[in-house]
Amino acid sequence: MSTLITDDQISSYQNDGVVLLKNVIEPEWLDVVAEGIEDNLRSPSKRTIEFVNDPANDAHFFFDARILGEVNAYDRFMLEVPDG
């Protein structure tokens, strides 16, 4: 698994504000993030903003901020994921 980011990817990010980085995070850590999302959806904070909630179309987009210390799986990911 490579964690190197290319100059082209950096340039794309600088120009477009977003870049897709594949295979940068180990799959088991993605499972931790998914667990955190499920926990966050079950117990959203007062800061949560729901932009889309359309179960019929399997569409849900929400935002929650300042969650450090509130969602254990997010804490694990932010503080324990190896940096390459």
pTM: 0.71
**6-24 pLDDT, tens per residue?**
899 999 999 999 999 888 8
The verdict on residue 6 lying in a domain is no
Contact 61, 49 (CB under 8 A): no
The verdict on residue 76 lying in a domain is yes
| Total domain count, the chain | 1
Structural domain harbouring 67? 24-80
The verdict on residue 16 lying in a domain is no
3: closest CA among 16, 18, 21, 17?
21
The pLDDT assigned to 1 comes to: 46
Contact 83, 29 (CB under 8 A): no
**50-77 pLDDT, tens per residue?**
999 999 999 999 999 878 899 999 999 9
The verdict on residue 31 lying in a domain is yes
39 pLDDT more than 60? yes
The verdict on residue 56 lying in a domain is yes
CA geometry: angle 65, 12, 52, nearest 5 deg: 35
The verdict on residue 15 lying in a domain is no
Three-state helix/strand/coil letters over 38-64: HHHHHCCCCCCEEEEEEHHHCEEEEEC
